[in-house]
Structure 1
Amino acid sequence: MIPRAGLLREIAAALAAAGLETPEREARALLKAGLGLTDVDLLARAEDPVTEADAARLREMARRRAAGEPLARLSGRREFWSLDFALSPDTLVPRPETETLVEAALAAFPDRAAPLALLDLGTGSGALLAALLSEYPNAFGVGVDLSHGAARQARENLARLGLGERSAVLVGRWAQALAGRFDLVVSNPPYIPSTDIAALDREVREHDPLLALDGGPQGLDAYRALASALPGLLRPGGRAVLELGIGQEADVAALLAAAGLPADGPARADLAGIARAIVTRPA
């Protein structure tokens, strides 16, 4: 058997040879995910042995990581808003910039005790819906996704997080499966122009579902559908918070305004300074 420290050095060297930018950090993350360890475990118990079976499994994970598969896909899990989510091939890997939507929603509805009706269109893993339900303990939320696999994964995540009784997940195209109105509608829709898909990072284009990426020729197809649906979904005083791709704020704001949903000020920027979350409401 090989000690943890030795396996860590071996995997870091393999990842460095594959050209990964931060091989030591990647190797630590891989061992932590693969063995269920903490940073303290790796430091304080570096000489603990790794079984041959675990070492073989971790070497295979390293091979796949070197070939461009994201760590979240290898482990099948990703943290979002300090919550742990299981992933499936049908769901996007939740990204930190999407937390900007949660921040924008909390700013729009500062009363955490409010009994809000929430809707997440294109819910994927259920990350956005779960994050909001965790912040609004008296809210009820509905998630909708076109993918049966994504809807199944969202239901499982919500149930495991103790949010199953305050949520429902439906399969449908945007609002077609819905009747009723909501205080808050959120969505991280597909917004990558079709012609840009091939230029995405390999981790995204080869491992995230195309259904959740491809926004049509200009990247705006989903926003057109949302602009058409939102006036019939929002209660008086309601808000919609939509994720934006880079450089899309003006185009999306125009689509929403034409539907009677003017932007409620400039889009909220993510940590990189990119306009990421547009907030709108019925005029």
Structure 2
Amino acid sequence: MRAADLLGPAIRRLTEAGVAEPAGDARRLLAHALGLAPGRLTLALPEPVSPDSAAAYDACITRRAAREPVSHITGERLFYGRRFAVSADVLDPRPETEMLIEAALAQPFETLLDLGTGTGCILLTLLAEMPGARGLGIDISPAALANAAANAAELNLSIKAEFAAGDWFDGLTRQFDLITANPPYLAAAEMAGLAPEVREFEPHLALTDFGDGLGAYRAITAGAPEHLMPGGRLLMEIGPGQGHEVMSLAYAAGFPHVSIIRDLDGRDRVVMAEIG
């Protein structure tokens, strides 16, 4: 059997399971099962496939048909041009978060605090892109911190990044030039409407505050001013439609300059608050 012969049945299975992009996922998983970079799959399609590789691919398709995310099956996700290890213990890096990266890099910084660091994708990307910067990633989940530390080692950034367990600013006395966060912003009532890939496989603690979706922003905006150096910035990813509420929280916390960055569809995506 050739590699190409495996694709058709796999695409049909994923289509029947309601997967949004069955052809793309089938190809990505075939490359994974064959141990290839996705860009090299086309060259391998005419080649014969071993029984072990065919069985491995079948197992991957079975997991995807159960709506497990491709990233959990392959164990990695691409973010800002770098590969990050992911698992069920952390939120998958999203393309939308790259807007926060661009906003952060618009001004220089030397010290960075990333709250709810998860995979470490925000912290580690910014440290890789900003020479001389050092940073601290905080997360309440020990499993997430282990994931982030492994990513730091893989990216040769362990010397620039440190990690600590904590609930936002609890026990933290240091100040930073930049604070970033992609906190849980979904309201509890929104969870039922999520795609199975998110609702059933990603950590709920990283998705929702189990309340109105603004709990994390209340804590972050209240604690950030005392942990920012003069002229420092706070950048928070937000859910669409939360811009006004989060801006109001930042103003109430004493930030004199607050603005919204919108995504390409015109939706509120990042709130930036600058300390005087």
Output the TM-score relative to the length of structure 1.
0.93
CA–CA distance in structure 2, aligned partners of residues 18 and 276 of structure 1: 31
Q: Percent identity?
A: 42
Greater CA drift, 95-104 or 254-263: 254-263
Unaligned runs of 5+ in 1: none
Do 1:133 and 1:139's aligned partners in 2 also have CA atoms closer than 8 Å? yes
- Identify which of 127, 132, 139 aligns with 2:133: 139
Deviation at 1:229, TM superposition (A): 0.9
Aligned amino acid, residue 273 of structure 2: T
Aligned amino acid, residue 6 of structure 1: D
Q: What SS class does the counterpart of residue 134 from structure 1 fall into? A: helix
1:127 matched to 2:126? The reply is no
**Cα distance, 1:21–1:176 mapped onto 2, change above 3 Å:** closer
Q: What SS class does the counterpart of residue 264 from structure 1 fall into? A: strand
1:187 alignment counterpart: 181
2:233 alignment counterpart: 239
CA–CA distance in structure 1, aligned partners of residues 250 and 39 of structure 2: 49
CA–CA distance in structure 2, aligned partners of residues 207 and 26 of structure 1: 17
Do 1:151 and 1:171's aligned partners in 2 also have CA atoms closer than 8 Å? yes
Aligned amino acid, residue 183 of structure 1: D
Q: What SS class does the counterpart of residue 165 from structure 1 fall into? A: coil
2:101 alignment counterpart: 102
1:250 matched to 2:244? The reply is yes
**Cα distance, 1:268–1:33 mapped onto 2, change above 3 Å:** farther
1:163 alignment counterpart: 157
Do 1:119 and 1:184's aligned partners in 2 also have CA atoms closer than 8 Å? yes
Deviation at 1:159, TM superposition (A): 1.2
CA–CA distance in structure 1, aligned partners of residues 55 and 143 of structure 2: 30
Q: Give CA deviations for 1:164-198 in whole Å, capped at 9, x if unaligned.
A: 00110001100113221000000000110012111
CA–CA distance in structure 2, aligned partners of residues 139 and 39 of structure 1: 33
Report the count of equivalent residues.
276
Q: What SS class does the counterpart of residue 198 from structure 2 fall into? A: helix
Do 2:3 and 2:46's aligned partners in 1 also have CA atoms closer than 8 Å? yes
1:152 matched to 2:151? The reply is no
Deviation at 1:41, TM superposition (A): 3.0
Deviation at 1:215, TM superposition (A): 2.2
Aligned amino acid, residue 279 of structure 1: M
Greater CA drift, 138-147 or 192-201: 192-201
Do 2:75 and 2:86's aligned partners in 1 also have CA atoms closer than 8 Å? yes
2:31 alignment counterpart: 32
Deviation at 1:38, TM superposition (A): 3.6
Do 1:97 and 1:271's aligned partners in 2 also have CA atoms closer than 8 Å? no
Do 2:19 and 2:67's aligned partners in 1 also have CA atoms closer than 8 Å? no
2:220 alignment counterpart: 226
Deviation at 1:48, TM superposition (A): 1.4
Deviation at 1:239, TM superposition (A): 0.3
CA–CA distance in structure 1, aligned partners of residues 153 and 39 of structure 2: 30
Deviation at 1:103, TM superposition (A): 0.8
CA–CA distance in structure 2, aligned partners of residues 273 and 69 of structure 1: 30
Deviation at 1:269, TM superposition (A): 1.6
CA–CA distance in structure 1, aligned partners of residues 219 and 258 of structure 2: 20
Q: What SS class does the counterpart of residue 207 from structure 1 fall into? A: coil
Do 1:253 and 1:263's aligned partners in 2 also have CA atoms closer than 8 Å? no
Output the TM-score relative to the length of structure 2.
0.95
Aligned amino acid, residue 258 of structure 1: A
Deviation at 1:211, TM superposition (A): 0.7
Q: Give CA deviations for 1:5-55 in whole Å, capped at 9, x if unaligned.
A: 011222112212323343222211111233232455322231212221221
CA–CA distance in structure 2, aligned partners of residues 199 and 235 of structure 1: 40
Aligned amino acid, residue 200 of structure 1: L
2:71 alignment counterpart: 72
Task: Report the aligned-residue RMSD.
Answer: 1.4
Deviation at 1:263, TM superposition (A): 4.3
